Chain A
Amino acid sequence: MIKKLKISNKNQEFLAKVEELSGEIITKCDQCGICSGSCPMVPEMDITPSQMMRMVQLGESEVMESKAMWLCASCFACTVRCPRGLDLSRVAEALRQMKLRKAIDHIDIKKLPEDEMERLPQIALISGMRKFTG
């Protein structure tokens, strides 16, 4: 017997927005879990990459409150291994951008510790600000 999940309009809108921004067909994800197994940041995450994809598939915008999308290091380990050819790093980026484009920064760059500011190379500051500020 086939069970059908009915997703509300609001949720469908969220899914559509994420698909548009990421350019990925998120409904293709069959929840195999390879991404979660490859992700080096998974031990620190509150939800795994698979769970993140599932929440987006169901249009649950609460996924935007997760820590996971901010812990993504854009390393593309998931990308090269996904058997459906999906690029999760782009989904995570889309979720981050949906917050950042409202000019809501994820970190306060004026409050970075002084001793860190003395050590950090430009490459760290530039990439960090690109991912965490809008």
Chain B
Amino acid sequence: MPNKGKSSTKKKLDLKKIMDRIAEASKQVVSGVEEEKVENWVTIHVMGRAYEVPADLTILTAMEYAGYKFIRGVGCRQGFCGACSTLYRKKGEYKLQTGMACQTRVEDGMFLVQIPFTPAEKPSYDINDLNYDVNVLFRYYPELARCVSCNTCTKACPQDLEVMDYVQAAIKGNFEELAEESFDCIQCGLCAIRCPSEIVQYNVAQLGRRLYGRYDSPEPEHLKKRLEEIKEGKFDEEMEKVTKHSRKELEQMYAERKREEE
């Protein structure tokens, strides 16, 4: 502990000890684990350093248990935002695996590293100036023509998307297939990092979906109808009812609302 006095030879701060104690203290808070109750432990290697962590944790919470604090490369924690991309290898296996840290459970002997960001240039375009033509995709992403159909992107995708299929759909100019197959993409960047042809698949898909939406995808008829109804004033009365009440009245209305028997 540092001396509070003004002595000329201050005791050197043992920063490592301090950080260890903070990590120790926050372990349970951050990962929600009570150590005494943990039955199964595994060893994982984060960027080459070994840590013993409870076996039931995800990579994300295991790293937090080990003392890592995420200020980048973390987001929704639900497998949806694509921030916590992780590359790992399992013990004794040569295959390079990918996954979202928040969705992947730790395994004994895992070697892992985070890829919080995939470097990629985002070209700016005005969707209104673009034609509905396959050449637009090549104009902004000429590297798309380098695809060798090796399927590495598909193997890398943590969402189990058929990435090669949608890239091929882009090359063929089949916007509908491109939009459909890439719909669930969370833009985690793992495909782009591994691609030997240096294509940024998710950027291509995004432009493709935008073009498809602008030019080709069927108009949502039910939405159009609803907007008409609103314009015609079909919901004016109900809106009045809700917006003219006080907060207390609304709370009471809520408490008294009709609902299923428990």
Contacts and interface: CB of A to CB of B under 8 A. Distances in A.
Contact of B145 (A110, A114, A118, A125): A125
A117 B141 CA distance: 11
A129 interface: yes
B89 to A, nearest CB: 26
Contacts, number: 35
Interface residues of B, number: 12
A122 interface: yes
Contacts of A133: 146
B240 to A, nearest CB: 54
B142 A126 contact: no
A118 B142 contact: no
B125 to A, nearest CB: 12
B171 A110 contact: no
A112 interface: yes
Interface of A: 109-110, 112, 114, 117-120, 122, 125-126, 128-130, 133
27 contacts: A109-B142, A109-B143, A110-B142, A112-B142, A114-B139, A117-B138, A118-B139, A119-B135, A120-B135, A120-B138, A122-B134, A122-B138, A122-B145, A122-B171, A122-B173, A125-B138, A125-B142, A125-B145, A126-B145, A126-B146, A126-B171, A128-B145, A129-B142, A129-B143, A129-B145, A130-B146, A133-B146
